[in-house]
Structure 1
């Protein structure tokens, strides 16, 4: 099941988690790596280390929802496995909901069709824990109801159901992975930034850190490099075929706690913070049940260590200063 000597396609491969996955796949020595990205959030800089290690990586600027274009890429590059990470993110769905939904659902449907036509051997689709909405129970297993709050979450939930329907109806070899909240280098520091680059930017600017609501909303934070490694392991495991799998640490952390940890790492524990109104579409609690993944892979899931947070903060300091 390894990608060794195979041709792989990574959609969204110039993005945050996608570029970490490209780095990870290089270690498995595929014969060819092709990246498709529309560069809405991705950047060539995210692929700089990968291109140094594998100058033969093909990077193509295309819309992954375009079935005809993706079929051409699959055929031209003789792709065996697709790692599908292309996505329009949650904040965009609050401004452009229809485009977000149409694109995210279109991406999943495109690769399901390509798999149904027998043009690829395996599809690994990266979804999101946002599909679950706020937790009805803790920890949240893969059977947790989908209570999508935002158009983004609804689009990810719909995409998952489409893939599962193709598995059941047409027998395609596909796995749906639901990562919880990722932290690490290369997360977009601009308009759609994650929590770590926002904190680093405000500390550097001498501005107080805004925390939405009371800050006691929780997430299951995981380091992006660990997510990439788990995605590669899931691909290689025959037991993961046709499965839906949470990828997380199984540890619940509040936003307040994460802010305290990051400020401590930056040596600014007394930096001012303030609380504002709750953010639209913000889920209250997220904590993954990772027992299914642990049972299949046979080892413990990683934790978000201070070392991983330090590497993340250091990276943002280097790009934001």
Structure 2
């Protein structure tokens, strides 16, 4: 791996959900961590305080915006490796303010890449998204008891692979997709030791989910508080969800193996074994909390994918990833954590009917 092992790690967006979990893992392994975060998102100040309490002396906060090229360059110059998690993360927000979305996701990433190009040997692992593949309208889907499923047998068995054509939809898809491609090209054109992880739905502790982003935690929070949940579309959309502990493991392995994987992009998600429809997840949440969840429906959102399940074989092979946490177990753990944060207790057992996948009508 590249970089100076005596220097701290830089985690942009390090007080966010995934960033704080990466920082926690690194600090727990004895590394110093620079948390570069504007602290604009609700919950980030609390996450930063949690990190500082858990790792006294190891966490070094820099309150700054990713668009501040000078401050970012100074942070890069002091770092041995960078995990770039800072971003505007919501499709809805990108539609409301596309300029801000562009400046944060494209210009912010460009600022980071330029700093890395000048530094020369500092590795970068970039957080991209499955939204770079668009709405997957080129695939045909059928209805099953477990949600939309692709008719193509290989896609149904393995999921969407990295070879699938990129097709950016919505300003968010465009900005993250452009940043994704910039990272790969800086590896190709300038030799920056960088790799890209295109994430599916990551969930877990320290996720302060909202209706616009972090939907697994959002569903749980609303259910625990006895509030209704709105599903956009018909609720049969399928996603592969991945516990944040497994995602963090992938990021750290990408850094450790950066000399072998630089210039490559990998799909990172729960894979077919952790594919779940929105309705299935709500049923599971109802069993966890001991009563059904109040649900209403609204129109489909722009660029929404009826199905996205990552083909994780390339990431597993290149990064040496082990078994993933089963989604029912992970969601139950998140529910318990969120309940504890609110002074609540969950007594209902997390039981589910046997899985089945067969043709159905809705």
TM-score of the alignment, normalized to the shorter chain, above 0.5: yes
What do residues 286-314 of structure 1 show as CA deviations (whole Å, max 9, x unaligned)?
A: 01111111112334441443221112112
Greater CA drift, 151-160 or 231-240: 231-240
Cross-structure match for 2:353: none
State the Cα distance separating 1:123 from its structure 2 match: 1.1
* Counterpart in the other structure of 2:202: 182
Q: Residues 1-321 of structure 1 correspond to what in structure 2 (within 5 A)?
A: 1=1, 5-30=6-31, 32-41=32-41, 43-56=44-57, 57-75=59-77, 78-90=78-90, 91-118=92-119, 120-135=121-136, 136-137=138-139, 138=155, 139-189=159-209, 192-237=212-257, 238-251=259-272, 252-268=275-291, 270-320=292-342
How far apart are residue 48 of structure 1 and its match? 3.7
Give the distance between the partners of 1:60 and 1:141, measured in 2 at CA: 37
Paired with 1:158 and 1:283, the residues of 2 have a C-alpha distance of 19
* Larger radius of gyration between Structure 1 and Structure 2: 2
Question: What CA deviation, in whole Å up to 9, does each residue of 1:11-66 have, x standing for no partner?
Answer: 00000110011111123322x21010011225122134432332221111101122
Q: Show CA shifts across 1:132-182 (max 9, x none).
A: 122345321112212222211110100011111111111111111111111
Moved over 3 A (4+): 2-6, 189-193, 204-208, 298-301, 318-321
Please report how far the alpha carbon of residue 189 of structure 1 lies from its aligned counterpart in structure 2 after TM superposition.
Answer: 4.0
In the aligned structure 1, how far is the partner of 2:93 from the partner of 2:342? 23
Query: How many residues are paired up?
Result: 317
Deviation at 1:190, TM superposition (A): 5.0
SS at match of 1:245: strand
**Does the C-alpha gap of structure 1 residues 40 and 263 become closer, same or farther in structure 2, counting only changes over 3 Å?**
same
Structure 2: gaps (5+ residues):
140-154, 344-362
Alpha-carbon contact 1:85-1:126 (below 8 Å) kept: yes
User: What's the CA shift string for 1:197-252, capped at 9, x where partnerless?
Assistant: 43234334434332221111111111112111111111111322221111112122
Any unmatched runs of 5+ in structure 1?
Answer: none
Instruction: Give the distance between the partners of 2:16 and 2:160, measured in 1 at CA.
Output: 27
> TM-score scaled by structure 1?
0.91
Counterpart contact for 2:201–2:241, Cα < 8 Å: yes
Paired with 1:205 and 1:46, the residues of 2 have a C-alpha distance of 21
Structure 1 residues 301 and 204, CA, compared in 2 at 3 Å: closer, same or farther? closer
Q: Is the 8 A contact 2:47 2:206 kept in 1?
A: yes
Change (3 A) 1:187 1:101: same
- Cα separation, 2, equivalents of 1:193 and 1:115: 29
For residues 51 and 210 of structure 1, the distance between their equivalents in structure 2, rounded to whole angstroms, comes to 36
SS at match of 1:94: helix
CA separation of 1:300/1:225 partners in 2, compared to 1, >3 Å: closer, same or farther? closer
* Inter-partner Cα distance in structure 2 for 1:234 and 1:94: 32
Partners of 2:96 and 2:34 in 1: CA distance: 31
Scaled by the length of structure 2, the TM-score of the pair is 0.81
- Give RMSD over aligned pairs: 2.2
